[in-house]
Amino acid sequence: MTVQIRRLATTQSDFKNQLANVLAFEEKEDESINSVVANVLADVKTNGDKAVLEYTRRFDRLSVNSAAELEISKTDCEAALASLTPERRAALQAAANRIRKYHEYQKRSCGSDGFTFTDEDGTSLGQKVTPLDSVGIYVPGGKAAYPSSVLMNAIPANVAGVTEIVMVVPTPDGARNELVLAAAALSGVTRVFAVGGAQAIGALAYGTETIPSVDKIVGPGNAYVAAAKRRVFGTVGIDMIAGPSEILVICDGSTHPDWVAMDLFSQAEHDEMAQSILISPDASYLDRVNDSIQKLLPGMIRKDIITKSLSSRGAMVHVKNMEEACEIANRIAPEHLEISAENPEHWAELIRHAGSIFLGRFTSEALGDYCAGPNHVLPTSRTARFSSPLGVYDFQKRSSLICVSAEGAQTLGKIAVELATGEGLEAHARSAGLRIEKQ
Ligand X SMILES: NC(=O)c1ccc[n+]([C@@H]2O[C@H](COP(=O)([O-])OP(=O)(O)OC[C@H]3O[C@@H](n4cnc5c(N)ncnc54)[C@H](O)[C@@H]3O)[C@@H](O)[C@H]2O)c1
Binding residues for substrate: 245, 267, 270, 336, 369, 423, 428
What secondary structure does DSSP assign to 167-228, as a single string? EE---GGG---HHHHHHHHHTT--EEE---HHHHHHHHHH--SSSPP-SEEE----HHHHHH
Work out which of 158, 171, 222, 245 binds ligand HSO, going by CB under 6 A: 245
In the chain, what's the furthest Cα-to-Cα distance? 91
Interface with ligand HSO, residue 148, by CB under 6 A: yes
Interface with ligand X, residue 196, by CB under 6 A: yes
Amino acid found at 68: A
Interface with ligand X, residue 383, by CB under 6 A: no
Q: Quote the radius of gyration of the chain (alpha carbons, Å).
A: 25
Interface with Zn ion, residue 369, by CB under 5 A: yes
Minimum distance between the CB of residue 215 and ligand X, rounded to whole angstroms? 21
Q: How many residues bind Zn ion (CB under 5 A)?
A: 1
Annotation: binding site for Zn(2+) = 267, 270, 369, 428
Of 56 and 267, CB closest to ligand HSO: 267
**Contact between 29 and 224 (Cβ < 8 Å):** no
Find all residues with CB under 8 Å of 347, minimum gap 6, and list them: 250, 322, 325, 326, 339, 341
What secondary structure does DSSP assign to 351-372, as a single string? ----SEEEESTT--HHHHHHTS
Work out which of 128, 143, 256, 414 binds ligand X, going by CB under 6 A: 143
Minimum distance between the CB of residue 324 and ligand HSO, rounded to whole angstroms? 26
Interface with ligand X, residue 246, by CB under 6 A: no
Is residue 209 annotated as part of the catalytic site, yes or no? no
Distance from C-alpha of 215 to C-alpha of 135, rounded to nearest angstrom = 6
Interface with Zn ion, residue 263, by CB under 5 A: no
Distance from C-alpha of 220 to C-alpha of 194, rounded to nearest angstrom = 16
Strands 336-340 and 134-138: unpaired
Of 170 and 408, CB closest to ligand X: 170
Among left, alpha and beta (phi > 0; psi -120 to 50; other), residue 151 is alpha
> What dihedral angle (degrees, nearest 10) is formed by the CA atoms of 11, 355, 34, 28?
20
Q: Report how far apart, in Å, the C-alpha atoms of 52 and of each of 26, 127, 172, 209, 211 are.
A: 29, 40, 14, 10, 10
Annotation: binding site for NAD(+) = 138, 199, 222
Q: In what order do the strands lie in the sheet with 6-9?
A: 6-9, 315-318, 275-280, 246-251, 336-340, 356-359
Q: Which does 141 bind (CB under 5 to 8 A by kind): ligand HSO, ligand X, Zn ion, none?
A: ligand X
Minimum distance between the CB of residue 246 and ligand HSO, rounded to whole angstroms? 7
Of 43 and 246, CB closest to Zn ion: 246
Q: Report how far apart, in Å, the C-alpha atoms of 312 and of each of 144, 274, 276, 302 are.
A: 22, 9, 10, 16
Is residue 353 annotated as part of the catalytic site, yes or no? no
Q: How many residues bind ligand X (CB under 6 A)?
A: 25
Interface with ligand X, residue 368, by CB under 6 A: no
Distance of alpha carbon 439 from its chain centroid, rounded?
A: 58
Work out which of 5, 8, 22, 36 binds ligand X, going by CB under 6 A: 36
Distance from C-alpha of 12 to C-alpha of 265, rounded to nearest angstrom = 27
Of 149 and 276, CB closest to ligand HSO: 149
Of 338 and 369, CB closest to Zn ion: 369
**Contact between 379 and 240 (Cβ < 8 Å):** yes
Amino acid found at 277: I
Q: Considering only 75-83, 328-336, 356-364, 369-377, which stretch makes contact with Zn ion by CB under 5 A?
A: 369-377
Interface with ligand HSO, residue 356, by CB under 6 A: no
Work out which of 114, 142, 188, 212 binds ligand X, going by CB under 6 A: 142
Give the per-residue contact string, 349-368, with Zn ion (x = CB under 5 A; - = no). --------------------
Interface with ligand X, residue 187, by CB under 6 A: no
Find all residues with CB under 8 Å of 62, minimum gap 6, and list them: 56, 171, 172, 173, 174, 194
Give the per-residue contact string, 158-197, with ligand HSO (x = CB under 6 A; - = no). ----------------------------------------
Interface with ligand HSO, residue 369, by CB under 6 A: yes
**Angle of helix 74-83 relative to helix 178-186, nearest 10 degrees?**
110
Of 43 and 335, CB closest to ligand HSO: 335
Interface with ligand X, residue 244, by CB under 6 A: yes
CA 48-143-191 angle, to 5 degrees, is 40
Of 10 and 276, CB closest to Zn ion: 276
Catalytic residues: 335-336
By the criterion CB under 6 A, which residues form the site for ligand HSO? 146, 148-149, 245, 267, 335, 369, 376
Residues of this chain that interact with ligand X (CB under 6 A) are 36, 59-60, 140-144, 146, 149, 170, 196-197, 220-222, 224-225, 242, 244-245, 270-271, 376-377
